[in-house]
A = this chain, B = another copy of it.
Amino acid sequence: MILTVTPNTALDITYRVRSLRPHSTHRVSEVTERPGGKGLNVARVLAALGHEVTVTGFAGGGTGRIVQERLTTTPGVVDALVPIGGATRRTIAVVDELSGDTTQLNEPGPTITPPEWSAFQEAYEGLLASASAVALCGSLPPGVPVGAYAGLIRTARAAGVPVLLDTSGEALRRGVAARPDIVKPNSDELAELTGSHEPSRAAHAARRRGAHAVVASLGAEGLLAATPEGTWRAGPPGRVHGNPTGAGDSVTAGLLAGLVEHRPWPERLVRAVALATATVRAPVAGEFDRKAYEDLLGRVAVTGEVTAA
């Protein structure tokens, strides 16, 4: 199975209102809820692609119970979240019916205690034994040491499990130094890590810092990959309209799927761009449009060069 780690899981709630006006009262016309946090989103996409996925991280409180109940009804996803005393955070997206614009309210998340963090590390090591790849996804909640991902990367490498890291800031900086197989920053995260705003230069700089491969997401321009086998760019055919929520998590899912199937890099990138584009186009945030995905697989352009052996 593929293992995804989400230390800061969430219950993602979406409200539809006519138009959000500060300091007034709104009747919510529609409420939708689903398990959230990057690794849970990645897992949902991987499961939809037919992969067996196990999710771990933390869950607690009434919101954690709702997240776990929802996971039991998601085919292909196995729940291995570790219980905590605090309550899983909520995120609320308030969508204006009139404009389609979204206002986001993100709770801070519970504090993880040292015994909870130890219990998680033990569970993680056990899960690695049957994992073909692991993705470490998103921010670290309060209480988790900032070098946490670096430690989890070393554990995965010691177990011979390839590891993808998708985070930002100091957690990314320390994680990269632990030599993960793939990091997947966006252009801002990459610039913050390397000090360079030129994506190609920054991606190579990130490799020198320790990442075996760097896949930078450049928004509408697609992906830039700097790997030991070569350097490529992959982009969608034409401009894409829609909701970009979850597109980055679909990139991660595409990269992991290509990794465990031992596809060459250009094929992994095509898949990742096709999934991300099909996610932007889907009517529901974070879902992907399967027909669009299959159609896009033949239409994503990849350019690049292979490194001389």
Using a CB–CB distance below 8 Å, which chain A residues touch chain B?
Answer: 15, 17, 20-29, 31, 61-63, 65-66, 69, 92, 94, 96, 99, 101-108
Residue in B23, B24, B29, B101 whose beta carbon sits within 8 Å of that of A108 in the complex: B29
- Tell me the nearest residue of chain B to A94, going by C-beta: B105
Tell me if A27 and B62 are in contact (CB < 8 A). Answer: no
Cα(A21)–Cα(B99), bound, Å:
15
- List residues of chain B with CB within 8 A of the CB of A21: 22, 103
- List residues of chain B with CB within 8 A of the CB of A102: 23
- Tell me the nearest residue of chain B to A92, going by C-beta: B92
Residue in B22, B29, B69 whose beta carbon sits within 8 Å of that of A101 in the complex: B22
Residue in B26, B66, B106 whose beta carbon sits within 8 Å of that of A105 in the complex: B26
Cα(A63)–Cα(B31), bound, Å:
13
Cα(A66)–Cα(B90), bound, Å:
14
Residue in B25, B63, B103 whose beta carbon sits within 8 Å of that of A104 in the complex: B25
Tell me if B15 and A101 are in contact (CB < 8 A). Answer: no
CB distance from A20 to the nearest CB of B (A): 5
- List residues of chain B with CB within 8 A of the CB of A69: 62
Cα(A25)–Cα(B94), bound, Å:
10
Cα(A241)–Cα(B86), bound, Å:
35
